[in-house]
Structure 1
């Protein structure tokens, strides 16, 4: 089929095809050894934990910030801006890192982000006033935004089509649970209660470890896929993951890319490994990405995902900014260390995304693909939205009623676990849907989901305190739950008519392949 987002994935004998077919080039991430792929993925996971924990840790250090005389002078700013400002940078950074990776490659951009996190963490420890600390934390947020955009491109680069649901769910679920475990430990470090600088000195070592591991263990994953010889024929795999077969090399359009054999000398291989820029990308791809972002914003199937992500994240922020005050106040009167244990419940919810979303969706898509004669449509990933939408609405509803009517405290832990599951599972579902529906625009689609969604959520975070004050915990969270269900319900008509809708929008840059799932 020549339908973008539809791929022939299962052969006539029922065997799952490993597509794209790896080339002979040592630069092809699909042809790497298992050890090389695992080290690259471990580098990605380590930075996932380091980057996100760095910008979320200040939530547990408000007391230390308030008692520091050096931070007293902050003009009109409240101390909460130290948490909200980095969240804004999470959205802004998506518009920079993904397009830049198309221009200079994934590895140099990833290295730059890890280096920025290391330098900004040390700068935060050395900050002499509020504004220096705020600037350092904004740089941390800008660098960490690559986790929600660039690193997802890297995970896609390293996986076959049938591996992608589980790999993305593992990235979101395992990375989120490890981060939440770290956040649950921070309040147990007593020195952090009075000296916030101690955390940044400790975390600068973790940031340095992430930079070093990325430098030595993470190769370039951006790969322009050439035609390959397979089963006596020539196979050309387009950026939208379509496969065309030719009988002769002379019939293949365009120039033929040849493998770049590695040098046999160990020192030259080492230099090749740590080289920052491979030079295999082009600046034209970066500028082409921005018109594609505009096309994606005009696309109702991408805009729906952005809106759903923003509303669900607003519900996450509503609980995240409230549970500390609710558990510390009457009738619960929890000490800070007990309040922080909520993150353990959230870690469980996040970890369950891997089996409950990744493995489940992989099996569902495989079943639907077999029923459809081996052709997999992007709409087969829509069941991935069911659990996060229901869990997100249930989490807000349960928290609102518990906080308003002082129900048993365990329900707050359960509500945050549900919300964590919803946020992480929805993140994985969003990535699968936008990249599989519009494979030729995957980079631009990830910019939209990772950029506009968090900017909108940041704007809503200023409204939430006033919303709670005027209507109370119960009604505010009930309204959020209704919004999540209504916006999530748009997925039902998408399942029936999405295959036609996603073919209508196009533009001057619509066929440019450098920002595709598999650039050619």
Structure 2
């Protein structure tokens, strides 16, 4: 097997209770010279890894559908913000109205942190069904709201439920896929989300202009009703407890965060208190659940439910001490905050300064479709090859900090994108509105690359709790980004579009340059914590 064939097989060694962590975060890209299917599926027909390809794609369709029509309802209000200003502008300040868009994004972090640990305990299916129902109900209450406060409350609960898209849904995808195919599944998940959302952002202003602002929510209510049907009939419970199994002289198991570990037989027996189960089908497989049984929303609590719930929060808090997680959170947050800030101003700017109609402002997002595809190619095709090249130069070992090298080009592109938008916004009499469209496409490419790379880095940078690090970054960025997103209106009122966006760009670049000391500091952090943190069973 070549290095390229093994690029997705990044495994980390876990340790037993009472032992001090003593690993530097480096992981093997090549092992045993044979491509293995990890995690190892059991002989149980109900094991999600044993689902047919068609059924796995149906699960992916269900998760993509919900992610598109929940996230877009949170971020897409900027495309009709001019209409919202006309609706509430007489009684509320511009900052309050922009908050209508930003509050939902902010509370997504709360939903992420609250719902993910519950999914580890209760299962994926009941939490997902709950999120879909909350979104559907709140779309209806938002569409029928008669007061500003009622509108705000509906959007807050939409944001809480939408938090599952950045925590639970990636976990479901991991449940049904092997390590060597997760890149394919996650690529479809993120690229379809970005591309379809960009297309809908073009269409939604036309819908609102032809009807009313309420159809912004009625459209999502209809789409979410379809999501409910898919959730009920196409998404069975994917949480599955499989024992550690023998593979090539080692033991393979998956932790509560969906991360696969390879340990010695002795470590596995000490951890689980039982001999290893070989990769055999010596015992008869259990019966396959009927379709009616799969429709059950809840399959009961595990015996250690409270311990698992508390253990999940402990891991999340533990990951917050890592410089890598703090850096990834800060960089992803400012990148997201600037993106939201731009969506909060472009609708009004295009109508007032460039004299676009309210129905046409969605065309601002036209470049986001090819930008999202280019970002997936950059982080996937180029990023994988850069990682392999750096690992080869390091004796075949991949270090998490190698991923920081991938951030150099996207950070440079943020400068090009933001400066282009700022200059065109500040002098509309001298520049075409299409300069803003091109600048936004460039920034969307850079933003997507930064989000994917920073969250991947956070997941790899902590050998003891990789999934928890990703949860902190993916969920926390919506909360931290609130300051940049909410502050754009007061800054524009005090300064100008150019000055305001340059302030935000300066913050982004300042954070990005911290990646240089982080490259060395996080390795030192792992060495220090290796003598201080005991591993729990």
Fold shared, TM-score > 0.5 on shorter chain? yes
Q: Give the 3-state SS of the residue equivalent to 1:438 in structure 2.
A: coil
C-alpha distance 169-429 of structure 1, shift in aligned 2 (>3 A)? farther
1:29-108 mapped onto 2 (5 Å cutoff): 29-62=48-81, 64-65=83-84, 78-108=96-126
Q: State yes or no: 1:360 paired with 2:360.
A: no
Q: Give the 3-state SS of the residue equivalent to 1:185 in structure 2.
A: helix
Shift in Å, 1:303: 0.5
Shift in Å, 1:377: 2.9
Residue 177 of structure 1, aligned match among 192, 195, 199: 195
C-alpha distance 38-59 of structure 1, shift in aligned 2 (>3 A)? same
Q: State yes or no: 1:116 paired with 2:134.
A: yes
Whole-Å separation in 2 of the counterparts to 1:464 and 1:304:
23
TM-score, structure 1 as length reference: 0.86
Whole-Å separation in 2 of the counterparts to 1:424 and 1:175:
11
Q: State yes or no: 1:11 paired with 2:34.
A: no
Whole-Å separation in 2 of the counterparts to 1:434 and 1:458:
21
Shift in Å, 1:207: 0.1
C-alpha distance 340-153 of structure 1, shift in aligned 2 (>3 A)? same
Residue 235 of structure 1, aligned match among 232, 251, 273: 251
Aligned residues: CA RMSD: 3.3
Task: Give aligned pairs, total.
Answer: 505
Q: Give the 3-state SS of the residue equivalent to 2:366 in structure 1.
A: helix
Please list the CA deviations of residues 428-480 of structure 1 after superposition, one character each: whole Å capped at 9, or x if unmatched. 11221111222542343233213332222113333222223333222322232
C-alpha distance 75-429 of structure 1, shift in aligned 2 (>3 A)? closer
Please list the CA deviations of residues 63-98 of structure 1 after superposition, one character each: whole Å capped at 9, or x if unmatched. 5545669x9777998333321221221122122111
Shift in Å, 1:302: 0.5
Q: Give the 3-state SS of the residue equivalent to 2:382 in structure 1.
A: helix
Whole-Å separation in 2 of the counterparts to 1:35 and 1:308:
37
Shift in Å, 1:170: 3.7
Please list the CA deviations of residues 316-352 of structure 1 after superposition, one character each: whole Å capped at 9, or x if unmatched. 123222222332233x222223321011212221232
Whole-Å separation in 2 of the counterparts to 1:492 and 1:269:
55
Whole-Å separation in 1 of the counterparts to 2:142 and 2:533:
41
1:293-332 mapped onto 2 (5 Å cutoff): 293-330=316-353, 332=354
Whole-Å separation in 2 of the counterparts to 1:261 and 1:19:
20
Unaligned runs of 5+ in 2: 1-11, 14-22, 278-282
Q: 2:309 maps to which residue?
A: 286
Whole-Å separation in 1 of the counterparts to 2:50 and 2:399:
26
1:475-486 mapped onto 2 (5 Å cutoff): 475-486=499-510
Q: 1:204 maps to which residue?
A: 221
Whole-Å separation in 2 of the counterparts to 1:134 and 1:506:
46
Q: 2:362 maps to which residue?
A: 340
C-alpha distance 255-148 of structure 1, shift in aligned 2 (>3 A)? same
Contact 1:51-1:117 within 8 A present in 2 as well: yes
Q: State yes or no: 1:273 paired with 2:294.
A: yes
1:163-174 mapped onto 2 (5 Å cutoff): 163-165=181-183, 167-174=185-192
Residue 398 of structure 2, aligned match among 373, 376, 381: 376
Q: State yes or no: 1:402 paired with 2:424.
A: yes
Contact 1:390-1:485 within 8 A present in 2 as well: no
TM-score, structure 2 as length reference: 0.83
Whole-Å separation in 2 of the counterparts to 1:511 and 1:309:
29
Higher mean C-alpha deviation, range 179-188 or range 160-169 = 160-169
Q: State yes or no: 1:464 paired with 2:480.
A: no
Please list the CA deviations of residues 35-64 of structure 1 after superposition, one character each: whole Å capped at 9, or x if unmatched. 222111111111111101222343344455
C-alpha distance 106-475 of structure 1, shift in aligned 2 (>3 A)? same
Whole-Å separation in 2 of the counterparts to 1:171 and 1:159:
13
Please list the CA deviations of residues 171-222 of structure 1 after superposition, one character each: whole Å capped at 9, or x if unmatched. 2232122112112101122x55552223322321210111211222223333
1:237-276 mapped onto 2 (5 Å cutoff): 237=253, 239=255, 241-246=260-265, 253-255=272-274, 261-263=285-287, 268-276=289-297
Unaligned runs of 5+ in 1: 514-520
Whole-Å separation in 1 of the counterparts to 2:446 and 2:216:
29
